[in-house]
Amino acid sequence: MKKGIVGIDVGGTNIKAAFVRGREIIRRINIPSHAQAGMDRSLQQIKLAIAPFKKKAACIGVGIAGIIDSGNGIVKFSPNLKGWNNVCLASMLRREFKLPVRVLNDVNAICLGEWKYGVARGYDNVFLFTLGTGVGGAAICEGRLLFGANGFAGEFGHTTITLKGPMCICGHRGHLERYAGAKYIVARAKRKMKKQRSRLADYDVLTPEIIARAAKQGDTVANEVFSEVGYYIGIGIANILALFDPDIVVISGGIARAGRVLFDPVRKTTRQMVLGAQHRHYKIVPAKLGDDAGILGAALFAQLTKKQALI
Protein backbone atom coordinates (compact mmCIF):
# COMPACT_ATOMS: atom_id res chain seq x y z
CA MET A 1 0.00 0.00 0.00
CA LYS A 2 1.57 3.27 -1.14
CA LYS A 3 1.68 5.91 1.57
CA GLY A 4 0.87 9.58 1.17
CA ILE A 5 0.50 12.70 3.27
CA VAL A 6 -2.59 14.35 4.72
CA GLY A 7 -2.64 18.09 4.00
CA ILE A 8 -5.26 20.23 5.75
CA ASP A 9 -6.32 23.83 5.48
CA VAL A 10 -8.41 24.87 8.49
CA GLY A 11 -10.45 27.96 7.67
CA GLY A 12 -13.07 29.91 9.57
CA THR A 13 -15.88 28.33 7.50
CA ASN A 14 -14.52 25.12 6.03
CA ILE A 15 -11.84 22.52 6.59
CA LYS A 16 -10.27 21.34 3.37
CA ALA A 17 -8.33 18.12 3.71
CA ALA A 18 -6.65 15.98 1.09
CA PHE A 19 -4.60 12.87 0.67
CA VAL A 20 -1.54 13.94 -1.25
CA ARG A 21 1.43 12.36 -3.00
CA GLY A 22 3.87 15.07 -4.04
CA ARG A 23 1.99 17.47 -6.31
CA GLU A 24 -0.88 15.06 -6.83
CA ILE A 25 -4.08 15.31 -4.81
CA ILE A 26 -5.46 11.78 -4.69
CA ARG A 27 -8.63 12.45 -2.73
CA ARG A 28 -10.12 15.46 -1.00
CA ILE A 29 -12.68 16.27 1.66
CA ASN A 30 -14.42 19.53 2.49
CA ILE A 31 -16.38 19.81 5.75
CA PRO A 32 -17.60 22.73 7.90
CA SER A 33 -15.17 23.84 10.61
CA HIS A 34 -17.86 24.91 13.14
CA ALA A 35 -15.37 27.54 14.19
CA GLN A 36 -17.78 29.48 16.40
CA ALA A 37 -18.91 26.41 18.37
CA GLY A 38 -15.76 26.39 20.50
CA MET A 39 -12.49 24.52 20.49
CA ASP A 40 -13.72 21.00 21.23
CA ARG A 41 -16.21 21.09 18.36
CA SER A 42 -13.78 22.45 15.77
CA LEU A 43 -11.05 20.04 16.91
CA GLN A 44 -13.54 17.22 16.41
CA GLN A 45 -14.11 18.45 12.85
CA ILE A 46 -10.37 18.48 12.15
CA LYS A 47 -10.14 14.87 13.35
CA LEU A 48 -13.13 13.97 11.20
CA ALA A 49 -11.40 15.43 8.15
CA ILE A 50 -8.24 13.37 8.78
CA ALA A 51 -9.89 10.07 9.74
CA PRO A 52 -10.66 8.72 6.21
CA PHE A 53 -6.97 8.94 5.26
CA LYS A 54 -5.31 7.74 8.45
CA LYS A 55 -4.50 4.19 7.35
CA LYS A 56 -2.56 5.26 4.27
CA ALA A 57 -0.96 8.38 5.75
CA ALA A 58 2.72 8.70 6.64
CA CYS A 59 2.26 12.08 8.34
CA ILE A 60 -0.13 15.03 8.72
CA GLY A 61 0.36 18.72 7.95
CA VAL A 62 -2.12 21.34 9.18
CA GLY A 63 -2.32 24.94 7.95
CA ILE A 64 -4.31 27.23 10.24
CA ALA A 65 -4.79 31.01 10.43
CA GLY A 66 -3.18 32.77 13.36
CA ILE A 67 -0.04 32.85 15.42
CA ILE A 68 1.47 29.40 15.28
CA ASP A 69 4.50 28.03 17.10
CA SER A 70 5.50 25.59 14.36
CA GLY A 71 8.45 24.22 16.32
CA ASN A 72 6.11 22.84 18.98
CA GLY A 73 2.90 22.52 16.94
CA ILE A 74 1.04 25.01 19.14
CA VAL A 75 -1.77 27.30 17.96
CA LYS A 76 -1.13 30.33 20.16
CA PHE A 77 -4.08 32.26 18.79
CA SER A 78 -6.39 31.89 15.81
CA PRO A 79 -8.68 34.76 14.77
CA ASN A 80 -11.03 32.40 12.90
CA LEU A 81 -11.45 29.73 15.56
CA LYS A 82 -13.23 30.56 18.77
CA GLY A 83 -11.45 29.45 21.94
CA TRP A 84 -8.14 28.43 20.35
CA ASN A 85 -5.54 29.85 22.71
CA ASN A 86 -2.28 27.99 23.30
CA VAL A 87 -3.68 24.73 21.94
CA CYS A 88 -1.09 22.03 21.37
CA LEU A 89 -2.74 20.77 18.21
CA ALA A 90 0.20 18.67 17.00
CA SER A 91 0.37 16.56 20.17
CA MET A 92 -3.43 16.13 20.29
CA LEU A 93 -3.51 14.83 16.70
CA ARG A 94 -0.38 12.75 17.25
CA ARG A 95 -2.07 10.99 20.18
CA GLU A 96 -5.22 10.37 18.17
CA PHE A 97 -3.68 9.13 14.93
CA LYS A 98 -0.23 7.86 16.03
CA LEU A 99 1.39 9.79 13.19
CA PRO A 100 3.88 12.66 12.97
CA VAL A 101 2.06 16.03 12.80
CA ARG A 102 3.22 19.49 11.79
CA VAL A 103 1.26 22.72 12.16
CA LEU A 104 1.94 26.02 10.40
CA ASN A 105 0.28 29.31 9.60
CA ASP A 106 -2.14 28.98 6.68
CA VAL A 107 -0.50 31.69 4.56
CA ASN A 108 2.90 30.11 5.16
CA ALA A 109 1.38 26.87 3.83
CA ILE A 110 0.05 28.66 0.71
CA CYS A 111 3.46 30.24 0.19
CA LEU A 112 5.23 26.86 0.47
CA GLY A 113 2.74 25.32 -1.97
CA GLU A 114 3.20 28.06 -4.60
CA TRP A 115 6.96 27.93 -4.08
CA LYS A 116 7.32 24.19 -4.51
CA TYR A 117 4.63 23.49 -7.11
CA GLY A 118 3.18 26.77 -8.35
CA VAL A 119 4.07 30.13 -9.81
CA ALA A 120 7.06 30.78 -7.49
CA ARG A 121 8.81 27.51 -8.31
CA GLY A 122 12.57 27.86 -8.67
CA TYR A 123 12.93 31.22 -6.90
CA ASP A 124 14.86 31.61 -3.66
CA ASN A 125 13.26 34.89 -2.57
CA VAL A 126 9.49 34.99 -2.60
CA PHE A 127 6.88 37.19 -1.00
CA LEU A 128 3.29 36.00 -1.17
CA PHE A 129 0.22 37.73 0.15
CA THR A 130 -3.43 36.77 0.23
CA LEU A 131 -6.28 39.11 -0.62
CA GLY A 132 -9.51 38.01 0.97
CA THR A 133 -11.51 38.97 4.05
CA GLY A 134 -8.14 39.83 5.54
CA VAL A 135 -4.73 40.42 4.01
CA GLY A 136 -2.10 37.87 5.03
CA GLY A 137 1.51 37.48 3.99
CA ALA A 138 4.47 35.10 4.01
CA ALA A 139 8.06 35.26 2.87
CA ILE A 140 10.68 32.84 1.66
CA CYS A 141 14.12 34.39 2.08
CA GLU A 142 17.21 32.73 0.63
CA GLY A 143 15.29 29.49 0.22
CA ARG A 144 13.78 29.26 3.70
CA LEU A 145 10.39 30.10 5.06
CA LEU A 146 10.58 33.09 7.36
CA PHE A 147 8.92 32.54 10.73
CA GLY A 148 10.36 35.43 12.73
CA ALA A 149 11.12 35.59 16.43
CA ASN A 150 7.47 35.12 17.45
CA GLY A 151 6.00 33.32 14.45
CA PHE A 152 4.56 36.66 13.37
CA ALA A 153 6.62 37.30 10.22
CA GLY A 154 4.91 38.39 7.01
CA GLU A 155 1.85 40.17 8.47
CA PHE A 156 1.56 42.33 5.37
CA GLY A 157 -2.05 43.34 6.06
CA HIS A 158 -1.02 45.14 9.22
CA THR A 159 1.75 47.27 7.79
CA THR A 160 1.07 51.00 7.83
CA ILE A 161 0.25 52.50 4.43
CA THR A 162 -1.12 55.89 5.52
CA LEU A 163 -0.32 57.57 8.80
CA LYS A 164 -3.72 59.03 9.62
CA GLY A 165 -5.79 56.51 7.72
CA PRO A 166 -8.97 54.71 8.81
CA MET A 167 -8.95 52.44 11.86
CA CYS A 168 -8.00 48.82 11.23
CA ILE A 169 -9.64 45.87 12.98
CA CYS A 170 -6.41 45.47 15.00
CA GLY A 171 -6.78 48.94 16.54
CA HIS A 172 -4.15 50.80 14.50
CA ARG A 173 -4.67 53.30 11.71
CA GLY A 174 -4.01 53.13 7.99
CA HIS A 175 -3.06 49.45 7.70
CA LEU A 176 -3.11 47.81 4.27
CA GLU A 177 -5.95 45.46 5.26
CA ARG A 178 -8.13 48.51 5.86
CA TYR A 179 -7.82 49.33 2.14
CA ALA A 180 -7.44 45.94 0.48
CA GLY A 181 -9.62 43.66 2.66
CA ALA A 182 -12.73 42.47 0.77
CA LYS A 183 -15.32 44.42 2.76
CA TYR A 184 -13.34 47.65 2.46
CA ILE A 185 -13.11 47.28 -1.32
CA VAL A 186 -16.89 46.87 -1.37
CA ALA A 187 -17.39 49.85 0.98
CA ARG A 188 -15.25 52.01 -1.31
CA ALA A 189 -17.44 51.08 -4.27
CA LYS A 190 -20.62 51.87 -2.31
CA ARG A 191 -19.33 55.32 -1.34
CA LYS A 192 -18.64 56.11 -4.98
CA MET A 193 -22.02 54.75 -6.11
CA LYS A 194 -23.74 57.47 -4.07
CA LYS A 195 -22.16 60.09 -6.30
CA GLN A 196 -21.92 58.35 -9.68
CA ARG A 197 -24.03 56.02 -11.76
CA SER A 198 -22.68 52.50 -11.96
CA ARG A 199 -23.78 49.10 -13.21
CA LEU A 200 -22.86 47.86 -9.72
CA ALA A 201 -26.22 49.27 -8.59
CA ASP A 202 -27.86 46.24 -10.26
CA TYR A 203 -26.46 43.94 -7.56
CA ASP A 204 -28.04 43.34 -4.15
CA VAL A 205 -24.79 42.02 -2.74
CA LEU A 206 -21.42 43.25 -3.95
CA THR A 207 -18.11 41.37 -3.84
CA PRO A 208 -14.64 42.39 -5.06
CA GLU A 209 -15.01 39.80 -7.84
CA ILE A 210 -18.22 41.47 -9.10
CA ILE A 211 -16.53 44.88 -8.95
CA ALA A 212 -13.56 43.49 -10.91
CA ARG A 213 -15.87 42.12 -13.58
CA ALA A 214 -17.62 45.49 -13.89
CA ALA A 215 -14.24 47.21 -14.13
CA LYS A 216 -13.27 44.96 -17.04
CA GLN A 217 -16.55 45.89 -18.73
CA GLY A 218 -15.60 49.57 -18.49
CA ASP A 219 -17.61 50.67 -15.44
CA THR A 220 -16.09 53.95 -14.20
CA VAL A 221 -16.82 53.43 -10.49
CA ALA A 222 -15.42 49.90 -10.53
CA ASN A 223 -12.30 51.06 -12.35
CA GLU A 224 -11.75 53.86 -9.86
CA VAL A 225 -12.10 51.39 -6.98
CA PHE A 226 -9.43 49.11 -8.38
CA SER A 227 -7.03 51.87 -9.33
CA GLU A 228 -7.24 53.23 -5.75
CA VAL A 229 -6.97 49.83 -4.06
CA GLY A 230 -4.15 48.91 -6.47
CA TYR A 231 -2.39 52.12 -5.50
CA TYR A 232 -2.39 51.20 -1.79
CA ILE A 233 -1.29 47.64 -2.50
CA GLY A 234 1.48 49.03 -4.73
CA ILE A 235 2.77 51.16 -1.84
CA GLY A 236 2.82 48.04 0.33
CA ILE A 237 4.71 46.03 -2.29
CA ALA A 238 7.27 48.82 -2.76
CA ASN A 239 7.94 48.55 0.99
CA ILE A 240 8.28 44.77 0.70
CA LEU A 241 10.73 45.13 -2.21
CA ALA A 242 12.80 47.60 -0.21
CA LEU A 243 12.92 45.24 2.77
CA PHE A 244 13.23 41.75 1.25
CA ASP A 245 14.26 42.24 -2.39
CA PRO A 246 12.23 39.25 -3.61
CA ASP A 247 12.48 37.80 -7.14
CA ILE A 248 8.74 37.40 -7.23
CA VAL A 249 5.70 38.80 -5.41
CA VAL A 250 2.69 36.50 -5.60
CA ILE A 251 -0.86 37.71 -5.02
CA SER A 252 -3.16 34.91 -3.86
CA GLY A 253 -6.91 34.84 -3.16
CA GLY A 254 -10.02 35.31 -5.28
CA ILE A 255 -9.34 38.97 -6.11
CA ALA A 256 -5.95 38.05 -7.58
CA ARG A 257 -7.86 36.67 -10.57
CA ALA A 258 -9.08 40.20 -11.39
CA GLY A 259 -6.33 40.55 -14.00
CA ARG A 260 -5.13 43.88 -15.35
CA VAL A 261 -7.69 46.03 -13.53
CA LEU A 262 -5.82 45.13 -10.35
CA PHE A 263 -2.30 44.40 -11.58
CA ASP A 264 -1.82 47.50 -13.77
CA PRO A 265 -2.23 50.03 -10.92
CA VAL A 266 -0.34 47.75 -8.51
CA ARG A 267 2.65 47.42 -10.85
CA LYS A 268 2.59 51.12 -11.78
CA THR A 269 2.60 52.33 -8.16
CA THR A 270 5.23 49.80 -7.11
CA ARG A 271 7.53 51.00 -9.92
CA GLN A 272 6.99 54.63 -8.97
CA MET A 273 7.54 54.12 -5.25
CA VAL A 274 10.33 51.58 -4.98
CA LEU A 275 13.94 52.50 -4.48
CA GLY A 276 16.15 51.74 -7.49
CA ALA A 277 13.39 50.44 -9.77
CA GLN A 278 15.64 50.50 -12.84
CA HIS A 279 18.20 48.23 -11.14
CA ARG A 280 15.77 45.64 -9.87
CA HIS A 281 14.42 42.53 -11.45
CA TYR A 282 11.17 41.41 -9.88
CA LYS A 283 7.75 40.40 -10.98
CA ILE A 284 4.29 40.72 -9.47
CA VAL A 285 2.03 37.86 -10.50
CA PRO A 286 -1.18 36.08 -9.51
CA ALA A 287 -0.96 32.73 -7.68
CA LYS A 288 -1.49 29.60 -9.73
CA LEU A 289 -2.75 26.81 -7.48
CA GLY A 290 -5.86 28.37 -5.89
CA ASP A 291 -7.14 26.47 -2.86
CA ASP A 292 -4.75 23.59 -3.49
CA ALA A 293 -1.71 25.68 -2.50
CA GLY A 294 -2.54 25.57 1.22
CA ILE A 295 -3.20 21.82 1.23
CA LEU A 296 -0.07 21.00 -0.77
CA GLY A 297 2.06 23.38 1.32
CA ALA A 298 0.83 21.88 4.61
CA ALA A 299 1.52 18.37 3.29
CA LEU A 300 4.98 19.44 2.17
CA PHE A 301 5.73 20.98 5.57
CA ALA A 302 4.73 17.75 7.30
CA GLN A 303 7.46 15.88 5.42
CA LEU A 304 10.31 18.19 6.32
CA THR A 305 12.65 17.39 9.18
CA LYS A 306 12.93 20.10 11.84
CA LYS A 307 16.32 20.98 10.37
CA GLN A 308 14.93 21.27 6.83
CA ALA A 309 11.96 23.33 8.03
CA LEU A 310 14.28 25.46 10.20
CA ILE A 311 11.87 25.37 13.10
- Contact between 81 and 162 (Cβ < 8 Å): no
By beta carbon distance, the residue nearest Zn ion is 168
Kindly tell me which of 170 and 285 has the beta carbon lying closer to Zn ion: 170
Q: What is the Cα 137 distance to its own chain's centre?
A: 6
Q: Which stretch binds Zn ion (CB under 5 A): 23-31, 130-138, 166-174, 236-244?
A: 166-174
- Measured distance CA(180)–CA(194) in Å, rounded: 20
Binding flag, residue 8, Zn ion (CB under 5 A): no
In the complex, least distance from residue 161 CB atom to Zn ion, rounded to whole angstroms? 10
Q: Does 158 bind Zn ion (CB under 5 A)?
A: yes
**Burial tier of 207 (Cβ tally within 10 Å: 0-12, 13-18, 19+):** middle
Span of 81-89, 160-168, 225-233, 253-261 interacting with Zn ion by CB under 5 A? 160-168
CB of 177 to Zn ion, least distance (A): 5
User: How many Cα atoms occupy the beta-carbon half-sphere of 69 within 13 Å?
Assistant: 15
Question: Which position among 37, 39, 170, 285 is part of the footprint of Zn ion (CB under 5 A)?
Answer: 170
CB of 159 to Zn ion, least distance (A): 8
Q: Which helix (H) or strand (E) holds 241?
A: helix 220-244
What DSSP state is assigned to residue 131?
E
Q: Of these, 175, 258, 287, 294, which contacts Zn ion (CB under 5 A)?
A: 175
User: Under DSSP, is residue 126 helix (H, G, I), strand (E, B) or coil?
Assistant: strand
Residue 133 sits in the site that holds Zn ion (CB under 5 A): no
**For Zn ion, the closer CB: 175 or 267:** 175
What single-letter amino acid sits at 13?
Answer: T
Contact positions vs Zn ion (CB under 5 A)? 158, 168, 170, 175
